[in-house]
Amino acid sequence: MTHQSIVRLEDATKVYQQGKVEVRAVDGLSLSIGKGDFAALCGPSGSGKTTVLNLIGGLDVPTNGRVLLENQDLATLTRSQVSAIRRDRLGFVFQAYNLIPVLTAYENAEFVLKLQGVSEQECRDRVMGILREVGLEDLENRRPDEMSGGQQQRVAIARAIVTRPAIVLADEPTANVDSTTADALLNLMQRLNQDYGGTFLFSTHDHRVMDRARRLIRLRDGKIETDEVRH
């Protein structure tokens, strides 16, 4: 792990209004994620894990403070510039997979590359290469409803990493799969982290993810409780 920062939150606060109640989902939080990190955000429900990922991913805007991705303050960018960063520099792995149901595994994995304007041949090479990596080269023509939960999550991981993003944000990626599949998915993401230097930030309740994380960031009430680097 190097100390070159990919993401920085600087005194970031996110306040939601729930009726007349003000909820501080993230409360004056400062955090730096370095290149090559394999880090997990953990903590009880409501501690702010998903909100932190949404702020980093540009899906949410801080009420106060700053979020910088590769030294760019997301709040200073236009909506289309933030969309371009999400497309080109971020990979998302969602708990509910978020695959496009009418597209095959291949087409789902290829989708963002098409948006980026990557040539047909390079798309083919990269998508088939990544489907091999995730063990799905024989299922390229299956749609999501023809695949198991674990297979769908592998497609979601393939889609997230095929663009070679600066950072992959994974929200509870093992929540909907059995333990054997969870271990296989974690093996895969660890290998991608080690072999290609990919940066991963998870939000998780899963001890299997926490045990493998080389950095464990515990949140409580929107603040960092502990930040432990393990080798």
Task: Let me know if residue 178 belongs to a domain.
Answer: yes
Task: Let me know if residue 118 belongs to a domain.
Answer: yes
On the question of pLDDT at 2 being above 50, the answer is no
CA neighbor of 42 nearest in space, from 192, 226, 229: 226
Which structural domain, as residue segments, surrounds residue 118? 35-62+77-229
Task: Let me know if residue 152 belongs to a domain.
Answer: yes
On the question of pLDDT at 111 being above 80, the answer is yes
CA neighbor of 224 nearest in space, from 67, 27, 88: 27
| Whole-number pLDDT of residue 62 | 94
On the question of pLDDT at 209 being above 90, the answer is yes
Task: Let me know if residue 94 belongs to a domain.
Answer: yes
How many whole angstroms from its chain centre is CA 179?
20
Give the tens place of pLDDT for each residue, 30-66.
999 999 999 999 998 889 999 999 999 998 999 999 9
| Whole-number pLDDT of residue 3 | 62
Task: Let me know if residue 1 belongs to a domain.
Answer: no
Matching residue, tokens 């695959």: 99
Task: Let me know if residue 87 belongs to a domain.
Answer: yes
Give the tens place of pLDDT for each residue, 114-154.
988 999 999 999 999 889 888 888 999 999 999 998 889 88
Give the tens place of pLDDT for each residue, 189-198.
898 888 878 8
CATH number at residue 98: 3.40.50.300
Task: Let me know if residue 92 belongs to a domain.
Answer: yes
Task: Let me know if residue 20 belongs to a domain.
Answer: no
Give the tens place of pLDDT for each residue, 61-101.
999 999 999 999 999 999 999 999 988 899 988 877 889 99
